[in-house]
Amino acid sequence: MPTAAPTVSAPSGSLLDLIGATPMVEATRLDTGRCRLLLKLESQNPGGSIKDRIALSMIAAAEREGFLKPGGTIVEATAGNTGLALTLVGQAKGYKVLLVIPDKMSKEKIQHLRAMGADVRLTRSDVPHGHPEYYTDMAERLAQQIPGGFYVNQFANDANSAAHFETTGPEIWAQTGGEVGALVAGIGSGGTITGIARYLKSVGSDAEIILADPVGSTLAGIVNDGVPGPEGSYTVEGIGQNFVPDTADVTLIDKAYSIPDAEAIATVRELLLKEGILAGSSSGTLIAAALRWCREQTEPKTCVTFVCDTGAKYLSKVYNDAWLADQGLTERTLHGDLSDLITRRPEEGGVVTVGPDDTLDTAFKRMRGADVSQLPVLQEGRLVGILDESDIVHVLDTDEITRKERFAKPVRSAMTRDLDTVQVKEPLDALIPLFDRDRVAIVLDGERFVGLITRTDLINHLSLNR
C-alpha cells in the first residue's frame, strides 16, 4: 500500500512560525513487544529541539507581563537546547541573550550557541543546586546584575508547561486519534511531562505517564518510592535533576524507569542503525524507557515518546567510539595488562599516524585535526619513530630556509628515533618514569605497536576501575 505524500505549506515569513506541528513516525525495526512505539520528531523544530516550543511561550509571556522590554537581555541557565531556542526566538525579536551552561555539555552545542551570537558562560557541572556556581544560581545572579536583564527560569516558569498543554499535547492527541496507552518523557525543567500529562487528563485519557530518568538523577526514586534516588553523575544531557523543579508536577506521573548511560547510548545508536533517525542522548533515555514499558505489556497498546533533539549535536560524544571508551561506556574485554589503558587502537583505525616520508605540513594538519600533540611514525606497519609538536617547532626555528620549505621537510628529518617503549605485559608502575620525563608511553607487544598511553589515559583508567 503506497504511503501518503507529505503535505506542504506555503512559505513562512519567519522561522518562529514553523515551531511545533512536528511529525510523528512509528518505530518498526526496534523490538517493541506487542506495542506500537510512536516517536514525535521534535528534532524537526527550526532550532532542532523540543525547547523551541517553550522559548516562544516564555518570551511571549514575559513580553505580555512587562518583564522583558525592548533592548533587554534574556538570561537563562540551560543544558544547551533551551539556550539555542531562546537565542533563536530572542534574536528574531531583537533581544540580547546570555546563557549559563554546565561544562559537561557537548562542544557542538556550545559552538552553535556562540555562532548564533549568544553570550555563553560556562560553569561547573560538579556542584549541587544551591552552590553559587551551580548553573541556575549563577544565571539568576547575573540577571539581577544586568540592566534590563530577564531571568527566564524555565524551572519555575508557568509558560513552560503551558506551551506543551497548548501545543504538544493536542498534537499528540490528534496524531494518535486519541489512542495513547503511555506517554514517556523526561524531566529537565519538567514542562514537557507536566503540560502534556495535564492535557491528556483534561480530555479524559487514561494514558500512563512514564518518567524516563538517567541513573544518577534522584527523580525516579521520588516517583517510585517517595524519596530521592541515589545521586550520581551521568553523561546524558538535558534531563535528570537532583531536585524537583517547580514546573514539574510529579503527582501526574505513574511510574519511572532509571536508565543507565550505557543503555541510553546503545539505544540511540540502535535507533540510527535500524530506523535511520539521528537523535540526541536524552532521546536514548526516553526510548530505552519506552521500550522497557512496551515489552512489559501483555496486550497491544500505543506508546508515545520523543526524539527531543538531533544527534548532530552529539557527534563528538554519543557517536564517537573513542569518547565512549574513555567514559567506560563500551563493552571491552580487559586483559589485565597495559592494553586495557589504550582506547584508540591502530588496528581499528583509532590512532592517527604519519609516515616518515610525509611532510611536516601533513603531520601538523593531522595533529590539529585529531587534537593530539604527538603522532606515531609507522613504516609498513612498524613503529620507526614519534613526532611531537616540539620536534616540529625545532625544525621551524631556523632562518636558513623559507617557511614553505620548512613545512615541506619530511617527517624523518624531525622525528624522534630514541623511543621510550614499554612492553604490554609490564605493570602500571612502568609508566611513571616515562611520565616523569614528560614523555608519552609507547606500548609494544614484542615489536608490534599496540598504542600510546598518556597521563590522561592512566588517570581515566584508574578513575573507571577504582
Residues taking part in catalysis: 51, 282
Q: Using alpha carbons only, how large is the chain's radius of gyration in Å?
A: 26
Amino acid identity, position 136: T
Query: Please, what's the b/e burial string for 39-70 (b: 16 or more CB within 10 A of its CB; e: otherwise)?
Result: bbbbbbbbbbbbbbbbbbbbbbbbbeeeebee
DSSP 31-92: --TTSEEEEEEGGGSTTSBTHHHHHHHHHHHHHHTTSS-TT-EEEEE-SSHHHHHHHHHHHH
DSSP 342-370: --S-GGGT-S--B-TTSBHHHHHHHHHHH
Q: How many angstroms separate the CA atoms of 466 and 461, rounded?
A: 8
DSSP 428: G
80: left (phi over 0), alpha (psi -120 to 50) or beta: left
Angle, CA 178 vertex, CA 177 and CA 181 arms, to 5°: 120
